[in-house]
Amino acid sequence: MSKEPVAVVGIGQTKHVAARRDVSIAGLVREAARRALDDAELTWADIDAVVIGKAPDFFEGVMMPELYLADALGAVGKPMLRVHTAGSVGGSTALVAAQLVAARVHGTVLTLAFEKQSESNAMWGLSLPIPFQQPLLAGAGGFFAPHVRAYMRRSGAPDTVGSLVAYKDRRNALKNPWAHLHEHDITLEKVQASPMLWDPIRYSETCPSSDGACAMVLTDRAGAARAPRPPAWLLGGAMRSEPTLFAGKDAVSPRAGRDCAADVYRQAGVTDPRRDIDAVEMYVPFSWYEPMWLENLGFADEGEGWKLTEAGVTELDGDLPVNMSGGVLSTNPIGASGMIRFAEAALQVRGLAGEHQVERARKVLGHAYGGGSQFFSMWLVGARPPES
């Protein structure tokens, strides 16, 4: 009994912006789906099932919007499954779709994630107070800033590391036509001079609010053989969850993240991620999460992640490029942000990342997290199919 190999043969994104007032939610998702189908040179009729994800329904003010989106995504008469796992949802959605192919339930699946933040107000969507329950704080930065501070204290990292990440990601975004922020006049000094929002996180070290969608076509071995462009092959994928708050939780390097990465590496036969993996698209909504996740994912020893960032290892031309697309720091349609990481990883191994392509990217990790650093989803994709 073996799983069917899963290939990514189509990828589509919208141009991510602050507000897509020219399209409805249906129009937005259809645009991304259409581009993914075009990339795969497939039609709606070739799709067996649709798996859709997004962050909380309050972000648009539509309850279970997949019902309304069935027509726009060509899902009528097909199975349509809606996934919701907090900020990791874009990644989780792709993994659920991949599972349908791996289990041979379906041959070709369209998966899509979106957020149209301009329809509503995400910050207040996250801030509904209920007595006797732990509310998320208004604005995610307030929740994560203390964890960043804890990392700085633990690792002894210099204060400037966060600004280096932001400066890098915003420059990378200039090479990605789909990215939301295109700050052509960005300088390190400007990042370091931007207002402090949640100490130690500055305005320019924070993700934007975006409208956007990302779609992928996943298929089996036979589908990959028919694909007009090189596929990306799924070498390993996993999800892990842990509680929000509990005594002994390591908010800086959560065990769920470490376990999730270990599961992916085991599936893919990766023994030394620093050596075996060529690049990473990781979920960095606040700059300091780059060094934090470098450690959590096993690319650096504990307390050493910031040294990779400082030495330029994670730059586009570095030894381990991170967030070649500009990352969440440059584009954040929340529910789609995880899938964009997964899709950008696949673009790299397909050699189709354009100006932000990393040379010889054979194995690339896509990473997403959500909630109070408690939901993780990751996949490792490769240019060659898994050895069976």
Q: Which of residues 67-106 bind another protein (CB under 8 A)?
A: 67-71, 75-86, 92, 96, 99-100, 102-105
Q: Does 213 bind another protein (CB under 8 A)?
A: no
**Binding segment toward another protein, per CB under 8 A, in 7-15, 123-131, 147-155, 336-344:** 123-131
Please answer whether residues 332 and 323 qualify as being in contact, where contact means their C-beta atoms are separated by less than 8 angstroms: no
Q: Does 3 bind another protein (CB under 8 A)?
A: yes
> What sign for the dihedral angle of Cα 88, 90, 96, 102?
negative
Q: Which is nearer to another protein, 246 or 360 (CB)?
A: 246
* Minimum CB distance to another protein, residue 370 (Å): 8
Among 23, 44, 118, 136, binds another protein (CB under 8 A): 136
Among 146, 244, 274, 351, binds another protein (CB under 8 A): 244
Annotate 163-229 with DSSP letters as a single string: HHHHHHHHHHHTT-TT-S---TT--HHHHHHSPEEETTEEGGGB----EEEEEEEEE-HHHHHH-SS
Nearest to 306 by CA among 320, 321, 289: 289
CA gyration radius, the chain: 19
Q: Which is nearer to another protein, 173 or 368 (CB)?
A: 368
Q: Which is nearer to another protein, 45 or 76 (CB)?
A: 76
Binders of another protein among 306-325, rule CB under 8 A? none
**Binding segment toward another protein, per CB under 8 A, in 8-16, 32-40, 148-156, 259-267:** 259-267
Q: Does 388 bind another protein (CB under 8 A)?
A: no
CA angle 174, 176, 177 (to 5 degrees): 100
Please answer whether residues 29 and 114 qualify as being in contact, where contact means their C-beta atoms are separated by less than 8 angstroms: yes
Q: Which is nearer to another protein, 4 or 315 (CB)?
A: 4
Q: Which is nearer to another protein, 44 or 203 (CB)?
A: 44
Query: Residue length, the chain?
Result: 388
Binders of another protein among 316-375, rule CB under 8 A? 371-372, 374-375
Q: Is the peptide bond before 129 cis (omega within 30 degrees of 0)?
A: no
* Minimum CB distance to another protein, residue 9 (Å): 20
Q: Which is nearer to another protein, 61 or 177 (CB)?
A: 61
Nearest to 167 by CA among 147, 146, 188, 185: 188
Q: Does 33 bind another protein (CB under 8 A)?
A: no
